[in-house]
Structure formats: structure tokens, C-alpha cells
Amino acid sequence: MRAYLPDSTSGIEKYQFIYHFIPHKEHKSRARLLSHGALISYSFVLVIFAVLIRFLPAFAPGVLGYASDINVSDLLRYTNERRAKVGLRPLSLNKELNDAAYKKANDMFKVGYWAHVSPLGTKPWDFVLNEGYDYIYAGENLAKNFSNSEDVVQAWYDSPTHRENLLSPNYDDMGFAIVNGVLDGYETTIVVQMFGRLRAPTQLAAVNEISEGFPSTQVPITEPEEAVPKEAVEVKSAPEPALANLQSGTLPAAEKEKGFVDVRAVTQSITIVFGGFVTALLGVDIWYSKKHGIFKLTGHTLAHLAFLLVAIASVMLSVFPGSVL
Amino acid sequence: MKQSSYKLIEYTMLLFGVIIFALSFWQSRHHVGQQIIITAGAAVFYVIWGLVHHWMEKRLTLEIALEYVLMGAFTFLLVLIALGV
């Protein structure tokens, strides 16, 4: 519908609809899409999205998830590159530690926990010992929801306690598991990294458990406790990394899951669309008001723009949905 | 103190505020909980800055105060969504 303003109005201003996007000269007001009502509406829609993302997994497990492209050879390479930078020798991939890591990851999906020690009391070292790896030193790093191998190793490196494991001279061997499954309703990828050094028969074992309140301690080796029952686990897992494949560089990644909505892509798109839209309107407001000398009794548009732009830039540069433990 | 000096201090404070926010946010990039607290703090800071700014200019109205609250809330929600919370 077309409405006409007084004769002095020309150009795009003769279309009332345009005042949804530009300030009004006569009313001395912001664009309608920057009004209080509009901002309340955007906030309301964002709350709806937040609630949906938060609670949908409880009603429809596996619908939302985190897409990832992580593989063992990259994890091994990035870890050993970090070690080389500080003059440490590279760690070797060890089959027993791979198996222990794989069983730990499966246990987390099966029992439903995100911790070093399971709710049933199973410790990382139980998995290591159960695989017949008799250690003098052992350590474990965990990661979930990351999109690639480099981010995983970087996140461990950025955390002082995890970095201690990555750069420890006490280890000779390393094992990885990259397993897909549903945890807390989200389709996700868990990465388990196990470290170890085999012990000589007369030595005591030490573990480096990366978790707050669990400092490295010297503990005597005990017989491994009975692990949780080995029932069928409903996880879509990567095949166990085979040492034979290491030379050819074909270590498997976790299977790429299809059929779920990637949380990372959805949340970033929402942020860009809503943030970008309001940012653009604020930019137009500044430009148009200056051009036509419109003085409005409103808040400081440039301050709004600066605050919003910094927030969006921070989100783009500093939001990594993955977490380490 | 001249009006222009007040303004300079105000805008410098805002600039420092957003820079501190961006740096703290980056520093806590692997700790979602900390990022939420930092963003909430930044939103509150921004609202207070807006109120003080307009009060000093002697043109603080309920409508302007509401505008800062809404902009702070909108930005906070935007970051919250991006964090997947």
C-alpha cells in the first residue's frame, strides 16, 4: 500500500514502509524496526530459540548435535608438534591406551556422564589397567563438541592442567578415541586422550588426573576393579584405531553423523542474522540522521553500534562450543 | 570541568569497557560459564554507562533508560544464543 506525505517529501521517503528502516524526519524518531517494541520482539524470539536449543534434546534426543571432523592422525600430529616445540620427544600411539580410551568414551555414553570418574566410581586408570597397560605414569584429557582436531589440541594446550599432560616428559605412549554418540540429548563427539609410561616391575604408579581437586598423586598399583558390565552401547563409534594404519596415515575419524541439526551452525546463524540486522539498522540511522540533520531524543546510536559490534566480533572470534575436561 | 572533558572521560570509559569485555571474553574462550558472566557484566556496565551519560547531559528519560536496558538485554541474549546455552 502506498501512502503520500506532504509535497516536500520526495524520493524513497514517500513510501511509508521505508520508515521501518530509516529515521523519521518529522517524528524525529528511529526506524520502527529499532523501536522499543521491535527490540522486545527480537529479544523474545531469541529467548524462544534459547529455550528450544536447551530443552529440545530432552524431548528429542539426537535431533541437535555438533558436527565434527576429528581424526587420530591429526590429534597425534598436533600433540607431538606441541611437544617438539618445547624440546620433548614425540609420544607413540599405543594400542592398549587406544583401547582404554575407546572403552572410556563408550562408558561415558553408556552411563551418561562427562567426567574423569564415572558415577559408578570407575576411574580412567581402571580402563588402562584392564587393557593390560601396567603404568608408572598415566594421564587423561577429555574433549567434546569440537569441530576439528586442531581446536581440540589447542583447547587442551590453553588449559594449564591439560597442557601439563600434553607437555609432560613422564610419558612415552599415547592413545586416542574419537567416538560419536548422544550425551545429554545432544549428538556429539567425545575425544579421549590417554597418556602413559610402562612401569618397571618394582616401581609404584603415578596418575595425572586432570580435574580440579585431583592433583597428581603417587598411588600404589592395585588390582583393577571390576569395570561396569560390558553391555551393548548405543553409540555410533569409530572403529578402534589400528596401529597398522598409522604408517599409511589412514587412521580413522569418528563417523560423520548425518541427520541432526548442527547446534553450532544454527546458533551462529541466528547471531549473525539478528545481530547483523540490528547493526545495519543502527548504521543506517547514523548515516541518514547525519545526512538530513535529524536530531532525535533517543539513546546514543553510535554507542549502541559500538557495543553490539564488539559483542558480535567477540562471538565470532571467541566462541568455541567445545569443552575440555 | 568543561562539558567536553566530561564527554571525553565518558567515551574513554566506554572504550575501555568494551575492550576489557572483548579481551576477557577471548581469555575465557574455553569456559562458557565465565563467558556468560563476562557478557552479563558488560551488559550491566553498558546500561549504567548509558544512564550516567544521559543523566550528565541532563536528558535522561524513562524511554532512554529503557532503550539502554533493551539494547543490553538484546546483546546479552545474542551472545547467550551463540554460546549455545
CB A233 within 8 A of CB A109: yes
pLDDT tens digit sequence for A69-121: 788 989 999 999 999 999 999 999 999 999 999 999 999 999 989 899 999 98
Which of residues A114 and A230 earns the better pLDDT score? Answer: A114
The pLDDT value given to residue A238: 37
Name the pTM for this structure: 0.70
The percent of chain B in helix, strand and coil, each rounded to the nearest 5, is: 85, 0, 15
Q: Does the pLDDT value for residue A244 go beyond 60? A: no
Residue type at position A136: I
Give the DSSP H/E element, type plus range, for residue A137.
strand A135-144
Cell of A137: 605414569
pLDDT tens digit sequence for B53-66: 999 888 899 999 99
pLDDT tens digit sequence for A273-316: 999 999 999 999 999 988 888 777 777 899 999 999 999 999 88
The pLDDT value given to residue A64: 75
CB A314 within 8 A of CB B22: yes
List the single residue in A with minimal CA-CA distance to B78: A271
CA distance A256 to A235: 13
Which of residues B9 and A239 earns the better pLDDT score? Answer: B9
Q: Does the pLDDT value for residue A2 go beyond 70? A: no
CB A163 within 8 A of CB A157: yes
Interface test with A, best of B48, B62, B81 (most A CBs within 10 A): B81
Write out A9-77 in H/E/C secondary structure: CCHHHHCHHHHHCCCECCCCECCHHHCHHHHHHHHHHHHHHHHHHHHHHHHCCCCEECCCECEHHHHHH
Which of residues A11 and A34 earns the better pLDDT score? Answer: A34
pLDDT tens digit sequence for A248-262: 333 444 444 456 777
Q: What percent of chain B has pLDDT over 70?
A: 96
Interface of B with A in 2-21 (CB under 8 A): 14, 18, 21
Residues of B in contact with A299 (CB under 8 A): 50, 54, 64, 67-68, 71
Q: Do A314 and B85 touch (CB under 8 A)?
A: no
Q: Does the pLDDT value for residue B22 go beyond 50? A: yes
> What residues contact residue A73 under an 8 Å CB cut-off, 6+ apart?
A246, A249, A250, A251
Angle between helices A263-292 and A36-59 (to 10 degrees): 180
Q: What percent of chain A has pLDDT over 90?
A: 37
Q: Nearest CA of chain A to the CA of B43: how many Å?
A: 9
